Amino acid sequence: MVRSLCFFVLLPVVLSQVQQGPIGAGQIPDDLLKSPESHSHLFHGDIKLTPAQELNMERYGNPYGTPLGRAASSVDKERWPNAVIPYEFDCSIANMESAITSVKRAMAEWEAKTCIRFKPKTTETAFLQFFRGQGCWGHVGHTANYMSQISIGDNCDFHHVMTHEIGHSVGFWHEQSRPDRDNSIQVLWENVLPGLEDAFAKRSWGTEVIDYGSKYDFASIMHYPFTAFSKNGKPTIRAIADMQGKTPYVELSPDDAMQTNAMYKCDAVMRKRMADDFEANFKPLPRIVKRSNTCSDKSANCQSYKDSGLCNAHADSLIYWCPVTCDMCSSDSCMDKKGNCKAWVAGGHCQTNPEALKIDCPYSCNFCGTPNTPPPPTQAPTPEPPTALPPTAQPPTPSQAVGLRCADKRSKCPTYAQQGECVKSGWVFRNCLISCKAKCDTQPLKPDGDCANALGLGWDFTLPDSAFTSSSTLTPGGGWSAPAHSARLYFEDDRNRKLIGGWCMTARDNNQWLKIDLGKEKKITGIATQGRDVFYEHVEKYELEFSRDGSSWTKYPKVFNGNCDHFTPVLNRFNTQVARYVRVLPYNLPNQYAWPCMRVELYGC
């Protein structure tokens, strides 16, 4: 899929306790209140329909493909099998610490309150991918053999934003789209951004949404904040019912959890999961005496095991782990060796099979007379089964340089850090790298070896602006531009001069170039590149040309790998070239996903 650069985009629906920075991937940072692009690919503001759902919308006016909409029997198709969601972090987001943190915190919240579990993708063909895209959006539910996605655009890396977007993947639409919403809220249409009215459209009972018996929930994580998609900063939603002190779009509410547990039949899922864990982790015990000075449970999950019927199904193991809860206690001098003894007593087996029961159930069968031979020491069975899946995998370790210059950009950064905002707010994390103790660079990227010094494009910016020229310059409006001299490694958006952090092209074709004049001939041995500051635009592949006089050019015989994310520097070394001029040629632009923008440093001596 090819994504064009959008100059005005959906404002991410973000709540935060701190001041917000620039909003919207690809957006003019200074011009937030103009009408966004129509975004026909999004539904209800932040939902991406599958191609089949888009076709059904055209034919039937709903995503489910029948004149009546979604039938009850099709609900199962949108549930992730066994309530487990395989996921992966795309390379565009894998090194972005604030995004990974917000996603994992959101996953932990869903796992703590529901039976939903997340596991790193292996061979699954249906899975959830997190990537750096334009704005905050996601697909709804599970689709067989389909990669669902969640886009983490600029200012989307907040815990509550990711909890909301994961809610779509779980299978939820929006709370304010309920058919009965007019009893609880009023939409203030006069304040809604033109073109986004459908974000507040109501759905239909039974055919499209099911409430599982819950009332309208002002506390739902799936409820828009009251200024969502506002064209003027005024509320777009007003409560007309008692909110009872609740605030929407903050955390997974009790009703959110209840509906999830009903949708996924979590009671049955958890019972099966518990039994499967036992089968995988508990092995039959040898006939040993399980003794202790006192009869006590050794697991915090005994009541759950009992409720799931495991006291009987796995009695030989539970006599060790949960003798109190499972009612299996006996005396220290005469102990049962099996967990089923009480059932065997009730079945008369003490009388019908006394020889075996004298060994297995002497206490319950009242066979204790003279003291038995002292029992061997207690032996623990195999480890207690896990109650949750293993922790999610960490993203790949960044390269030698992170690509973010260590700095606190706000005077209140130490205060924000003390208040815990570093883990709550992606905006605080990005703007307070020092106070948040983030991974960042205190010095520029430098390759190993001789003749590998930075040649002045980035970091200290010693090469003059006049040394940079290009085939084209993006000027999106509002006085902002992305000229050639913005193509400096580590260069960030300059709001005073309205310079975008990176050189961006006006067209996605193979005739684009960036030329650097080093002032005199130098030995050139390497190049590092980044994408555009803040947003996701970058160049995936490029070629290099070298010249001594600026008119006769020699192309290096290699296509270099560029960037997948917008900030991690990618270093490429090559055979020494003697030149004054270097030309970077973005390669195969018509087929790359992101709009082409880049920042550069050259190395040599």
- Write a three-state SS string for 553-605: CEECCCCEECCCCCCCCEEEEEEEEEEEEEEEEECCHHHCCCCCEEEEEEEEC
Strands 597-604 vs 541-547: parallel, antiparallel or unpaired: unpaired
Structure tokens at 34: 């103009």
Query: Catalytic: 165?
Result: yes
164 is in an annotated binding site: yes
- Do the Cβ atoms of 598 and 530 come closer than 8 Å? yes
The helix or strand, by DSSP H or E, that contains position 358, with its residue range, turns out to be helix 354-360
CA distance 349 to 241: 65
Structure tokens at 6: 């959008």
Structure tokens at 263: 């949708």
DSSP state of 189: G
- Do the Cβ atoms of 361 and 270 come closer than 8 Å? no
CA distance 394 to 461: 34
CA distance 432 to 425: 11
Neighbour tally for 591: CB within 10 Å: 10
* Among the listed residues 226, 173, 222, 229, the one whose alpha carbon sits nearest the alpha carbon of residue 202: 173
Catalytic residue among 88, 97, 109, 165: 165
168 is in an annotated binding site: yes
Neighbour tally for 132: CB within 10 Å: 29
CA distance 529 to 494: 19
DSSP state of 2: -
CA distance 426 to 439: 14
- Whole-angstrom CA distances from 473 to 24, 153, 209, 322, 487 are 21, 23, 47, 71, 11
Q: Where are the alpha helices (DSSP H) in 14-158?
A: 51-60, 97-113
CB proximity list for 397: less than 8 A, separation 6 or greater:
none
The helix or strand, by DSSP H or E, that contains position 481, with its residue range, turns out to be strand 480-482
Q: Which amino acid is at 586?
A: P
Q: Where are the alpha helices (DSSP H) in 158-285?
A: 159-170, 254-263, 266-281
DSSP state of 170: H
* Coil, helix or strand at residue 300: coil
- Do the Cβ atoms of 196 and 36 come closer than 8 Å? yes
566 is in an annotated binding site: no
**444 backbone dihedrals φ, ψ, rounded to 5°:** -75, 160
DSSP state of 527: E
CA distance 324 to 321: 9
CA distance 304 to 332: 27
Strands 147-152 vs 127-131: parallel, antiparallel or unpaired: parallel
Long-range CB contacts (within 8 A, 24+) of 494-498? 495/29, 495/30, 498/30
- Do the Cβ atoms of 203 and 179 come closer than 8 Å? yes
CA distance 160 to 424: 8
Binding-site annotation, residues: 164, 168, 174
Catalytic positions, please?
A: 165
Binding-site annotation, residues for Zn(2+): 164, 168, 174
